[in-house]
Amino acid sequence: MPGSVEEWENRYSGAEAVWSGRPNVALVDVVTDLDLTPGRSLDVGSGEGADAIWLAGRGWQAAGIDLSPTAITRSRVAAETAGADADFAVANLVDWAAADDHRGAYDLVTGCFLHTRLPDTRADLMRHLGELVSPGETLILISHATVPPWAAREDSEHGEAGHEHGLDGDFSTPEEDFTLLTAGGSRPWECVLAETRNRPVTGPDGTETELDDGILVARKV
């Protein structure tokens, strides 16, 4: 997992496309099951924009933020190609959450695979995500719960330890993230869903396997 703005930008600029262009399956399932009324949404760490574009296509006033200018440029192109009314900005979560016009402004905040390098930064991540959600509205966080087997192989090939990429398997559970979310906030939260779901995936070498995702859905009371 890149650990700086420069590293994230290098990851995107060094490849024609990093992601598939399809929305996260777990996010699609959860949003569909919740049957939320479309409003203003924000996807944090939006990558190349697929999740925000999917939400825009379902009536949300969708936006996404990411650290990488290349990722945001690709998101805007993808939105235009899809005919989706989604806005994207190069920004970091800390500054975005601190802005008066963003704090408490969103009916839905989503984040997929927003892992942190150090455990003590996870509380800050959850606090800033929570600051963006309007009272009565929803946060959806989808996280890795297992390490992809090819990640260990790639680290071994490069002589690197998996924990240097945030993939050492010591992931926060949905329950732990909910505890962090509620720890320092000024308003209480309701835990709507906290569980682990399994999904089939195809690795870079074509190998079929399964991975677990942690899913947290919380509503600000």
- In this structure, is residue 25 part of a structural domain? yes
Q: Cα(30)–Cα(16) distance, rounded to whole angstroms?
A: 29
Residue 120 lies in a domain: yes
Average pLDDT over residues 21-25: 94
Mean pLDDT of 172-192: 92
pLDDT digits (tens, 9 = 90+) for 107-160: 999 999 997 766 678 999 999 999 999 999 999 999 999 887 776 554 444 444
Strands (DSSP E) contained in the chain are: 40-44, 61-66, 86-90, 106-112, 133-144, 189-202, 208-220
193 lies in some domain: yes
Residue 28: inside a domain: yes
Give the global pTM: 0.89
Amino acid at 219: R
Which residue matches tokens 């090819």? 150
Question: How many separate domains does the chain show?
Answer: 1
DSSP helix/strand/coil, 221: coil
**Structural domain of 130:** 5-152+165-220
CATH of the domain at 61: 3.40.50.150
Does 157 reside within a domain?
A: no
207 belongs to a structural domain? yes
Residue 30, domain member (yes or no)? yes
Does residue 82 contact residue 48 with C-beta atoms inside 8 Å?
A: no
Asked whether residue 199 is assigned to any structural domain, the reply reads: yes
